[in-house]
Amino acid sequence: MPAPTINRAEIEELYRRYGALVRRRARSILGDEHEAQDAMQEVFVRVIAAMSEFRGQSQPSTWLYRITTNLCLNRIRDSRRRRERLAEAADDGRQPMAPHAGPTPEARSTLRGVLARVDDELAQVAIFYYVDDMDQAEIAAVLGVSRRTIGYRLDRFREEAQRVLGEGVAVSAAAGVPKAEGESR
Amino acid sequence: MSNDRLNALDAERRRRGPECASDLVLDRLALGELTHEERPALEAHLAVCADCASANARLTAERSSFAAEAPIANLAADAVVRSQKKEDADWRILWRRFFLPLGVVAGMAAITLWQASRPDSRTKGEFTLSPYVLHPEGGQATLHTGEPLHPGDRLQFRYNGSRAGHLTIVAVDEDNKISVYYPPGAIAAPVAAGKDVALSSAVELDGSLGREVIVGVRCDGPLPVELVVNATRKAVAGARQKGAAATELGALGLPCAETRYQIAKQARPIP
């Protein structure tokens, strides 16, 4: 496996240019500054590993949006698995970890809880739609699929969300906030 | 109930006109990624849409804040280290799948023999430190397992590792005190790959007595020593919270390789 052909100065320049974008996006999805910082680092590791692909992007920011979205979705799923393990620990009589401190708006917690339980392609579209407030045409352009596909996936996401929410899955306590405070406009 | 919650999601979406820009489009504007047709149209819209102008101002402020406050050199160094670790991990997966079944027996035997020759040096991540002592009365000697050290002894290390990197050595005593043993400067010192690579400086042991754990930290980038000290402090606090001694601290959690070495300091015998 060849070593990435990139030097430190080039990486620092990437941070100056795209760091704020990646961190903000990660924070919007994960709702936690510390998690967002770590996710940002993960994104840049991905950039370094796929440098030639990154350099070939005509819209690097769109590429970074996609990568950041996918990595954050993985984190949300990992977080869900951790919570489930903690719930099992509680069943065993052990103490679960304290829930995420601070008020979490119901709708945002709902979204994050559902994101952890649906297919990647549905979750991805839901983030662009609900977190980024993008319209279907813009999401289609970002993901390189037709607008019709986006509409179909959003419908499926809603069906899945209804199913998940109908199962009474607890999504509010530790689910976090998909959009950071002060970011809605 | 589920419908209500879904409706709440939809209600939270920002209401905006067809010309209004998402954050992505505003990012692309700032990064010069819009086409010659897109850019003037968006700029004209920003001049008349307070909502989008406000969003643009927010993103601009965040970019400025990041550029001014983020420790970009450290972040980049960390990303490089993680990247190399990931690459190593990928190689390890290849090894596990294709080569390990053949080499595992020989490898285990070699590791066992190697560690047996270095009792009390616990490795965690591909390198070890061999301490030797410069006695104040003159002479130097390899530090043997269980051999006590005394205040005033000067301790120096040799590095054994197949990878070059940047090395920091800290020590934690039973009173939770953290000392930097290497390097003398504020940034981890470069160290070459090899066997018994002598480090450039020694440390004189102070008057405190008892057990100490010496933690060697080798990173691929020039990490500030202060970061290692802070990580050590956190690990000590974690150990204390669990009721363990400070010298039983866990991993520092840095993207670096670590090694440990236990020493015991006793009062110098009266001649």
* Identity at B103, one-letter amino acid code: G
Residues A73 and B255: their CA atoms lie apart, in Å, by 23
Contact A79, A176 (CB under 8 A): yes
3-state class of A3 per DSSP? Answer: coil
Residues B8 and A93: their CA atoms lie apart, in Å, by 36
Residues B43 and B11: their CA atoms lie apart, in Å, by 28
Same domain, B166 and B51: no
Same domain, B33 and B132: no
Residue A45 has pLDDT above 50, yes or no: yes
Task: Specify if B225 maps to a domain.
Answer: yes
Residue B18 has pLDDT above 50, yes or no: yes
Same domain, B159 and B261: yes
Residues B3 and B8: their CA atoms lie apart, in Å, by 8
Same domain, B138 and B237: yes
Q: Helix axis angle, A136-143 relative to A147-166, nearest 10°?
A: 100
Task: Specify if B14 maps to a domain.
Answer: yes
Contacting residues of A for B221, CB less than 8 Å apart:
8
Contacting residues of B for A12, CB less than 8 Å apart:
72-73, 76
Task: Specify if B222 maps to a domain.
Answer: yes
Same domain, B160 and B251: yes
Residue B72 has pLDDT above 60, yes or no: yes
Contact B179, B191 (CB under 8 A): no
pLDDT in tens, A57-90: 888 899 999 999 999 998 888 876 666 555 554 4
Same domain, B131 and B254: yes
DSSP classification of residue A18? H
- Highest mean pLDDT: which range of B1-15, B80-94, B214-228: B214-228
Domains of chain A listed by start with CATH number: 8-166 (1.20.140.160)
Same domain, B186 and B95: no
What is the C-alpha R_g of chain B? Answer: 27
Task: Specify if B270 maps to a domain.
Answer: no
3-state class of B97 per DSSP? Answer: helix
Contact B169, B129 (CB under 8 A): yes
Closest CA to B155 of B225, B205, B118: B205
Closest CA to B168 of B185, B182, B154: B182
Q: Which of A45, A48, A62 lies closest to B24 in CB terms?
A: A62
Contacting residues of B for A16, CB less than 8 Å apart:
67, 72
Work out how many domains chain B is built from and give that number. Answer: 3
Residue B23: domain span: 2-69
Residue B169 has pLDDT above 90, yes or no: yes
Q: Of residues A136 and A165, which shows the higher confidence score? A: A136
Preceding peptide of B271 cis, ω within 30°: no
Contact A118, A165 (CB under 8 A): no
3-state class of B204 per DSSP? Answer: strand
A48 and B2: CB-CB below 8 Å? no
Domain ends where: B117, B136, B153? B117
The pLDDT score that the predictor gives to residue A92 is 40
Q: Which of A49, A130, A138 lies closest to B9 in CB terms?
A: A130
Q: Which of B12, B28, B79 lies closest to A11 in CB terms?
A: B79
Binning pLDDT at 50, 70 and 90, where does residue A118 land?
confident
Task: Specify if B172 maps to a domain.
Answer: yes
Same domain, B130 and B242: yes
Cα separations (Å) of B203 from B129, B130, B244?
Answer: 14, 14, 27
**pLDDT mean across residues, chain B:** 81
* Identity at B72, one-letter amino acid code: I
